[in-house]
Structure 1
Amino acid sequence: MDGPRITLTLAPSLRHFAAAGRRGAAVPVATDGTASLGHVVESFGVPLTEVGRLLVNGREVAPSHVPEAGDAVDVLPVTRPQRVPGAPLRFLLDIHLGTLARRLRLLGVDAAWETPDPGDAALAARSAAERRVLLSRDRGLLRRRELWAGAHVDHTRPDEQVREVLDRFAPPLAPWTRCTACNGELREADKESVRDRLEGGTSRTYDVFAECPDCGRVYWRGAHHARLEAIVDEAVRGVSGGSFGQAGPVSER
């Protein structure tokens, strides 16, 4: 672009998206005179999924606004907790966020994830069809226009990713109510009805079970329960006003 020049100021929480030399305040940016402000911001490195408001000379404008020479643009982040209107809060995660998907399911959050990788086009289409917020670390994926809603996951460690998602969206939590393998909703199971799916030691040691009607997986409070309970407890403490279910069984597999 080599047209009208504007100045672009990213909010501090958005500056890590820009190239190292463009993270200060009031950075000069050349436009072509026809590109929308949304296009300019994304070209600068910031996915529009991360933008809450765009101000031009102090006035809020839409991403479709075409900036003019001399405009001072402020790019503000989404407010937290971010509200997603029009549908129950549900997520869709890309192939690289499998561990985060299982952690969210452990907390009772509806988190769709599939393998093998369905590809960017299929993920964007599913986000739109099912009205799911797509979580990804891929900026290109988050720029696809067919997305219903999306959010960039900044962190790489699963513990930090969970905190990041809970802080941004504050979803209602219902720990131990979803299958961590397929995202199905768990139901109580009589021991006799699942005995043929249990190993001998498990059958002799445990009496309380749950099962996933979608994939048939059986859950109980096994050897890994203490570790998983610590993950749940940390999440519950960090979210205020959540709707938490009763602690139930969890498989040791």
Structure 2
Amino acid sequence: MNGPAIHIEFAPELHLFVPAARRDGASTAATDGVSTLGHVVESLGVPLTEVGALMVNGHEVPVSHVPAAGESVAVRPVARPQRVPGAPLRFLLDVHLGTLARRLRLLGVDTAYESLDIGDPALAARSAAEQRVLLSRDRGLLRRRELWAGAFVYSTRPDEQLREVLDRFAPEPHPWTRCTACNGLLRETTKEEVAAQLEDGTRRTYDVFAQCRECERAYWKGAHHDRLEAIVERALARAHPADRTR
């Protein structure tokens, strides 16, 4: 871009995406006089999924605004909790976020997950077709125009990733209601119905079981239940902080 210059300042929450030279107050950016402000912001490194209000000379404008010479632009982060209009809150995670997918499903959050690298176009198309919020650490993927909605996952640690999603979107948790393997809904079942899936020790030790309605995987409170229970309890405390004092 080599046209009218604007002054642009990014909120500290967005500094991860911009060069160091643009992190300390307003900086000058050249435009071409025809591109939208949304395009300019993305060209400077920030996916629009991470952008909240765009303020021009103190007034909010849409991403379609075409900046004029000398305008002062403030780029703010997405407000939290972020509301996603038009569909029930559902997620789609890319191949690199398998642990996060399992933890969201553990909380009963509708979470699709691609265990294979099917490519950015296919992921974006699925997000649009199923109206799912795509969660990814791939900035290029989050810039695809066909994407229905998306969000960058800032951390590489599953515990922190889960906190990010809970804080940003505030999904309503329904623990122990979804299959962590396929996202299907669980139903109560009997030991006899799932006996073929059980080892002898499990069959002797446990009496309460659930089964996925889709893949028919069996679930019970096994050796790892305490660890999973701790994950759920921490998430519930974060989702409903008032409950901590009750």
After TM superposition, the score normalised by the length of structure 2 is 0.96
1:115 deviates by 1.9
Separation of aligned partners in 1, 2:124 and 2:213 = 27
State the SS of the aligned residue for 1:191.
coil
In the other structure, the counterpart of 2:106 is 106
Tell me, yes or no, if structure 1 residue 128 matches structure 2 residue 133. no
Tell me, yes or no, if structure 1 residue 234 matches structure 2 residue 234. yes
State the SS of the aligned residue for 2:194.
helix
Separation of aligned partners in 1, 2:175 and 2:31 = 49
Cα RMSD after superposing both structures: 1.1
For 2:203, give the aligned amino acid. Answer: S
For 2:235, give the aligned amino acid. Answer: A
In the other structure, the counterpart of 1:37 is 37
Tell me, yes or no, if structure 1 residue 208 matches structure 2 residue 233. no
1:78 deviates by 1.2
Separation of aligned partners in 1, 2:201 and 2:130 = 41
Separation of aligned partners in 2, 1:192 and 1:122 = 41
* Unpaired runs of at least 5, structure 2: none
In the other structure, the counterpart of 2:57 is 57
Matches within 5 A, 1:81-96: 81-96=81-96
For 1:148, give the aligned amino acid. Answer: W
In the other structure, the counterpart of 2:18 is 18
Does 228-237 or 113-122 show the bigger shift? 113-122
Separation of aligned partners in 2, 1:32 and 1:107 = 47
Separation of aligned partners in 1, 2:74 and 2:21 = 18
* Unpaired runs of at least 5, structure 1: 243-253
Work out the number of aligned pairs and report it. Answer: 242
1:25 deviates by 1.3
Separation of aligned partners in 2, 1:10 and 1:114 = 33
Superposed CA offset, 1:182-202 (max 9, x none): 110111011111111111110
In the other structure, the counterpart of 1:187 is 187
Separation of aligned partners in 2, 1:116 and 1:13 = 31
For 1:54, give the aligned amino acid. Answer: L
Tell me, yes or no, if structure 1 residue 156 matches structure 2 residue 156. yes
After TM superposition, the score normalised by the length of structure 1 is 0.93
State the SS of the aligned residue for 2:174.
coil
In the other structure, the counterpart of 2:116 is 116
1:241 deviates by 7.6
1:2 deviates by 1.6
In the other structure, the counterpart of 1:245 is none
Separation of aligned partners in 2, 1:230 and 1:61 = 44
State the SS of the aligned residue for 1:82.
coil
For 2:92, give the aligned amino acid. Answer: L
1:96 deviates by 0.6
For 2:166, give the aligned amino acid. Answer: L
Separation of aligned partners in 1, 2:63 and 2:130 = 24
In the other structure, the counterpart of 2:137 is 137
1:13 deviates by 0.9
- Structure 1's consecutive aligned runs of 4 or more residues displaced over 4 angstroms after TM superposition are none
1:77 deviates by 1.2
